[in-house]
Homo-oligomer: A and B are copies of this chain.
Amino acid sequence: MGVGNKDFMENTSRKEQILIKSAKLFREKGFEAASMRDIAKELGIEAASLYSHIKSKDELLETICFRMADELLSSIDEVNDVYFNAEEKLNTAIKNHVNIVTGDLDAASVFIREWRRLPEKKLSEFIKLRDKYEDGFKQILINGENENVFEAPDKKFAVLTILSAVNWITEWYNPKGNMTPDEIAEHLYNFILTGLKIKSK
């Protein structure tokens, strides 16, 4: 009942299954409104049984949020290490971000929307990681300015605006829609680079 995709689930550890369903429900109903009993029901077990695999509800939120943060951070680090050209860096960073986010929409939505509900101690740790990620993008903009290819008077502002656009994807992206993640990334990159105004003008 409610279990669904069993073939897929069979190769996945119980803890992983719990995380997947948690992300789904945290996204749909919000962290507080999604109960342990809801999560258990999705897996066809009782709420108390969840505690054979996890320590607490908070742990679920933590794991989802920090996994995403780690994934994004290692992506931006790699971009800044590997590529030389600022335009290429920004293009790749955006492409990676869009792919990570669309690759696990549930977890990404929780990462973007529900991180505020982390317990205080983990929250400050989380915010540090977010800041580090933002710094990764800032670094790209600084590179671009040195290369005389980007212009961003207020770098922090520019980064926040860029990230707002790539994060907002979770609000409207439909995997069954007619845009692939790479197409979205390209679209976004073009928009961020050149804006709305007609170039010939």
Which residues of A does B touch, CB under 8 Å? 30-33, 90, 113, 116-117, 141, 144, 148-152, 154, 157-158, 160-161, 163-165, 167-168, 171-172, 187-188, 191-199, 201
Sampled A-B contacts (20; CB under 8 Å): A30-B31, A32-B32, A32-B33, A90-B196, A144-B196, A148-B198, A148-B201, A149-B198, A157-B187, A158-B191, A160-B171, A161-B191, A163-B168, A164-B164, A164-B167, A164-B168, A165-B165, A193-B196, A194-B197, A195-B195
Q: Which residues of B lie under 8 Å from residue A172 when comparing CB positions?
A: 160
Given A158-B191, A161-B191, A187-B157, residue A196 in contact with residue B113 (CB < 8 A): no
Contact A197–B149 (Cβ < 8 Å): yes
**Copies, count:** 2
Contact A197–B193 (Cβ < 8 Å): yes
- DSSP majority for the A interface? helix
Contact B198–A195 (Cβ < 8 Å): no
Shortest A120–chain B CB gap in Å is 13
Given A32-B33, A164-B168, residue A196 in contact with residue B192 (CB < 8 A): yes
Contact A150–B196 (Cβ < 8 Å): yes
Shortest A199–chain B CB gap in Å is 8
Contact B149–A30 (Cβ < 8 Å): no
Given A117-B30, A187-B154, residue A201 in contact with residue B149 (CB < 8 A): yes
Q: Which residues of B lie under 8 Å from residue A117 when comparing CB positions?
A: 30, 33
Bound CA span A192–B161, Å: 9
Contact A116–B30 (Cβ < 8 Å): yes
